[in-house]
Structure 1
């Protein structure tokens, strides 16, 4: 796996039958565990991960501060209120400017950011290392870049980093399972401190598999409020979703559309998910777009979404998915779509110790 392919993602034939229970019909979901009281997360957000260093490619939306400022300004005008970013996305300055100039009170906007592995193309940001002091330093950079005093949700971006950026934490210099457990726990100690200092209203993780979450649970301390992982019909880990539900951890799916604008799917998959005849047929039956069907597919499984788009028409579509429901039979068919051999957009964290 190349450094480039890993960095971008920090920016998402098995037959499965799932009985659909619940699903999101409201605009927000209440966060639990390591979250302030009454912190509600909009179930539909906008992703902003896409690296400006790749802008010579004919594929993909590659974000930077100028792109983010325009896109987030439009998102807020359309009624969007949740924004997903990270230090490594190189767009937080632009996002912060758009928020300030929107005229919308800060408390009405939900900002998610991330610390940990990944620097994108901007090497001036603090090392994206796991570890106690590194996490605190990265948070200071996040708040400064966004020009805010707090974020609503802070996530540990990845449970492990194969690129091994320099770390000041002696507990984060190994790569065995036990050494990485100690590193993750040290990082989570820092996350709890940031939460206690009111620099974030909630804390969680991203790309954590059950074994990684268990490392945090074994501490007997604060439990993550959110786990953000790749989720779409080509890749879904229902055991992980169920584990999160059991522990009241909100599951946030990224790449819910399979990143149809980006190149990787084109050499991994025969077809983008939204171009599948089944998805198009379901969309026609509901008079919706394929993208709306895929977002509804996630929401009906209690998975909140943050599709990435800088296109205004697509943003409008993404916000308009709470006025219809897929049938149980449609959900089963979507769950039973044959999965390509390489079904993930991003690297597989299940391979990490």
Structure 2
């Protein structure tokens, strides 16, 4: 490989790709943390702890080091060509999207630079007039807004004709046959089969100089050597003049399409073999080969040995690559403690009834301390209006404490409830079959609750559960047969 270069190569034609965070390091890959606010460890801190420090780190959404508080990217206004750096809200945190929105109000902005957070000088600049040369252009800055831990941020959304380039002979990027690793977070819903959407280490002169002159991640639906499984998109290695899904030109049979359609399924806790069969039924009914998140629906305390067997089956499915993550639902602190003591994989998610009237703070604290994402079902408190709630049946949507806050922000009571959960670091999964309410539930990233408003909502706690008490859930009372696929 020729000396150090980092490059986003453009998509020649067709649909687009969005990208949120990338890093290049000596040897090896890491698991990317989704924590959005200032964290004790960022992705590149994990690289460094493993002896493989990042030599380049780029993101439009967040800092990749816990201590990083410099600029993430640069935008340019089309109205007057003024430039503005966009940094994180705080050290190690999420990008300050509000600063971009204010700067770009009433005009169009493009992303002209992605700063190298390592300090090594490998800052990516768009390839085009005014950039690093060439005929390409910079990506539009606000094409795709994302939510990172409840905070708005913008992806680098690559259209055909957008590309970025960096060359720094002293940047520390591996050359020749030196080992290295690259990590990219992108979207599987905006892809094509044209050459090439890459992130990685390539030539220094904007030209394809021959075989083996690159070491980059490729993402798309190209299938150059045949034998591909499905329709993609796939992650492959672009080593110049060839895309490789494994160690040879032969198609890797384990290569799976990565479409980013996030599929969640639940299983009854029927023990090890029954759980494996439950996965087969769920996957067949969903029409997928792999499920993104598979969770146990209840702790089933009266038959917890079956719960442990079922969870061990989830661990096997995870190890076999049939699921991407595993989790639990309605597990209390004692259930989680017994589970963690007897199994190997920490659940990625714990789904819980969480709303202002029932907040389960002890479980939330336990989850947070162990890196388990708390995911709120009934986050708007709809369960408190079910007939089974008795004489205390109520609607959060009509609570004066909630509606007053909603009026101040020009939002609905439901949006305030969702924002309350998101700002406290939870995932929320509201349920609705009405199109306008689904749209309203998504539109919660353009305002923030104040500390006093969060406190006022916290004060609505009653300690009363709306759903069944986890200790009372048994197969006899709640179990039902699930038909075969």
Q: TM-score, normalised by structure 2?
A: 0.44
Structure (1 or 2) with the greater helix fraction = 1
What do residues 209-241 of structure 1 show as CA deviations (whole Å, max 9, x unaligned)? 011111121025111111011100011111111
Does residue 153 (structure 1) correspond to residue 293 (structure 2)? The answer is yes
Deviation at 1:38, TM superposition (A): 8.1
In 2, Cα distance between equivalents of 1:134 and 1:338: 39
Ranges in structure 2 where 5+ consecutive residues have no aligned partner: 1-36, 39-92, 96-145, 150-182, 188-256, 475-485
CA contact (8 A) 1:264 1:345 kept: no
Deviation at 1:270, TM superposition (A): 4.4
Deviation at 1:266, TM superposition (A): 6.1
Equivalent residues in 2 for 1:192-207, closer than 5 Å? 192-207=315-330
Q: TM-score, normalised by structure 1?
A: 0.60
Larger Rg: 2
In 1, Cα distance between equivalents of 2:289 and 2:387: 37
What do residues 166-220 of structure 1 show as CA deviations (whole Å, max 9, x unaligned)? xxxxxxxxx3xxxx34322211110101111211100010000011111121025
- Counterpart position of 2:271: 131
After the TM superposition, which segments of 4 or more aligned residues of structure 1 sit over 6 Å from their partners? 21-25, 37-41
In 2, Cα distance between equivalents of 1:246 and 1:280: 33
RMSD across aligned positions (CA): 2.9
Does residue 227 (structure 1) correspond to residue 367 (structure 2)? The answer is no
Q: Which has the higher contact order (CA 8 A, sep 6+)?
A: 1
Number of matched pairs = 232
Match of 2:451 among 328, 332, 336: 328
- Counterpart position of 2:282: 142
Deviation at 1:262, TM superposition (A): 6.0
- Counterpart position of 2:309: 186
SS in 2 for 1:218: helix
What do residues 11-38 of structure 1 show as CA deviations (whole Å, max 9, x unaligned)? xxxxxxxxxx979995256xxxxxxx98
Does residue 111 (structure 1) correspond to residue 111 (structure 2)? The answer is no
SS in 2 for 1:142: helix
SS in 1 for 2:452: helix
CA contact (8 A) 1:159 1:349 kept: yes
- Counterpart position of 1:289: 412
Match of 1:315 among 429, 438, 444: 438
- Counterpart position of 2:331: 208
Deviation at 1:258, TM superposition (A): 1.5
CA contact (8 A) 2:384 2:394 kept: no
CA contact (8 A) 1:235 1:344 kept: yes
Equivalent residues in 2 for 1:71-90, closer than 5 Å? none
Deviation at 1:267, TM superposition (A): 3.1
What do residues 309-333 of structure 1 show as CA deviations (whole Å, max 9, x unaligned)? 0111111111011111111111111
In 2, Cα distance between equivalents of 1:150 and 1:335: 39
SS in 1 for 2:295: strand
In 2, Cα distance between equivalents of 1:267 and 1:236: 19
SS in 2 for 1:155: strand
Deviation at 1:39, TM superposition (A): 8.7
In 2, Cα distance between equivalents of 1:187 and 1:40: 33
What do residues 251-294 of structure 1 show as CA deviations (whole Å, max 9, x unaligned)? 10000112269633663534211110110000000000000000
- Counterpart position of 2:466: 345
SS in 1 for 2:352: strand
In 2, Cα distance between equivalents of 1:338 and 1:148: 40
SS in 2 for 1:114: strand
Deviation at 1:138, TM superposition (A): 0.7
CA contact (8 A) 2:383 2:466 kept: no
What do residues 124-181 of structure 1 show as CA deviations (whole Å, max 9, x unaligned)? xxxxx421111111110000000101111000110118xxxxxxxxxxxxx3xxxx34
- Counterpart position of 1:256: 379
CA contact (8 A) 1:28 1:40 kept: no
